[in-house]
Chains A and B, each alone.
With several copies, the nearest count.
Chain A
């Protein structure tokens, strides 16, 4: 419900030697960023793939907390929504919404929150409300859901953006639904987390350190140039010293993803 859910995959198969898809690439790169993280607040779709892969690789103690109230899910099937019945049956805890949002999220117990957006700016501010003017939008988007709360309260936020275009990586958001900590500070409200620290896209990885820092390009996927990423970004994107090249998904990662995490390719479209 935080704009991060994906639609169903088309279910087509993918052999062990098949070329790496965009979803696979994003999931693998995001999973690596979860090394040693524990409590992750995530929606369904790419975050599901990333966190499940991380559990099998770099973050064995990872726990996904769902906005719907589920902690410690042990689903029998890959969940299709954050409230899927399979997340509830067999879970370790299902909390009422006031406890989930109040005590768990706002209480400061989430290490990483996953968010998506229609637009992101250089400070990691997100728009999930409207394209155009709020009171007469050209496109009405779903709105915040819990994104405002995830950004304000998770220790850090990862954003996965499939499309990397100047319109989605915007110099100015049409509407700032979910601000980064700089805007909160300017509004006189203390930011409690670092805001967006990682943005994984089809072109590479952007990162920022915390309050006062803007998103910089830290890595590109193999075959992608820094200039390509800068051209696809609506603001004057700076780089973090030398830009690394993302290590392509390894055989083990792909095997786990394809055979263990999402064998029916629900999200691995």
Chain B
């Protein structure tokens, strides 16, 4: 009898059945098949740390097309998805291979439309952060003290100005740039651990992952470890993403390679340094994809193919946080 008033496609409808179900654990194959569709806007976040590479590879294996990829630092995994023909539009604030040289496919796509053009929306880092904040908070825009005098607004019409309704410090009217929200169809993040319901705990650099999940209609969390409910509940402040925002939990140890997972394995700096040469040659890049992505059934096979000796080289020693006491009523 009661029909809640919601507009079609409005964010209110994101509270869909299944969100709160007790067990969201599934395979990467099933998660990508169910939640990443051709034409989707896909956010992959993780700022140098916890980059969801395993998910990117599965998107490649499943041959997704015409994706809009949203990622602050478009780095190796984006270059790979570009090379596999998954991506027609990129929204980013840094398109480079960290400090280790260029992304070959990205540069060919942008500089020479080779093999096809790439629509590119250029922001700054905080502009991207604010787009996620606006998306997560269902705001029409988010203000930030950037872009004044930059050429970026001339190539990105989404960067606009708003007049503050309050006088500035000098009593005069004050203008400020704003960015629009981004609401990905699906956000994929990698994290250290989650429980089966999707309560997700991250430590070390936490970046903008929580906001990227909250901004999205659907969310896949890939983890190094699935843990018992008790582990999560022993430290609720560590939960960056609560279960009600998560649709699928995928266990993929070492799934952030070549990036790192704080406390689990270190960054594969050699691979970052090797990427410019691999990606600089389209034939070599195709071979790399054939061997390492199409040639592996899933991330477990990819990780195994790298070999235990390789992983021993990225192993880290233990540095445990101390506990805190949450207390219990006597």
By a beta-carbon cutoff of 8 Å, the part of chain A in contact with chain B is: 1, 5-8, 38-39, 44-45, 61-63, 65, 67-72, 74, 76-77, 80-86, 88-99, 101-111, 125, 129, 134-149, 152-153, 155-156, 173, 175-195, 197-198, 207, 209-211
Contacts and interface: CB of A to CB of B under 8 A. Distances in A.
Contact of A108 (B3, B15, B266): B15
Contacts of B19: 38
Interface in B216-257: 229, 232-234, 236-237, 239, 241-245
B29 interface: no
Given A106-B138, A141-B96, A184-B148, A101 B211 contact: no
A108 B14 contact: yes
B205 A107 contact: no
A210 B214 contact: no
A92 B124 CA distance: 27
Max count, chain A CB within 10 A of own CB: residue among B149, B262, B316, B319: B149
Interface stretch (B32-40, B78-86, B106-114, B295-303): B106-114
A248 to B, nearest CB: 21
Contacts of A148: 124, 126-127, 146-147, 150, 152
Closest 6 CB pairs of A and B: A189-B148, A183-B149, A142-B96, A5-B99, A83-B48, A179-B149
Given A188-B175, A189-B147, 5 more contacts: A69-B205, A129-B151, A143-B94, A145-B124, A182-B149
A98 B211 contact: yes
B193 interface: no
A69 B329 contact: no
Say what secondary structure dominates the interface of chain A: loop
Contacts of B205: 68-70, 83, 88, 94
Interface string B107-141: 10011010000000011111101000100111100
Contacts of B139: 106
Interface string B298-319: 0000000000000000001001
A155 B126 contact: no
A187 B199 contact: no
A138 B126 CA distance: 27
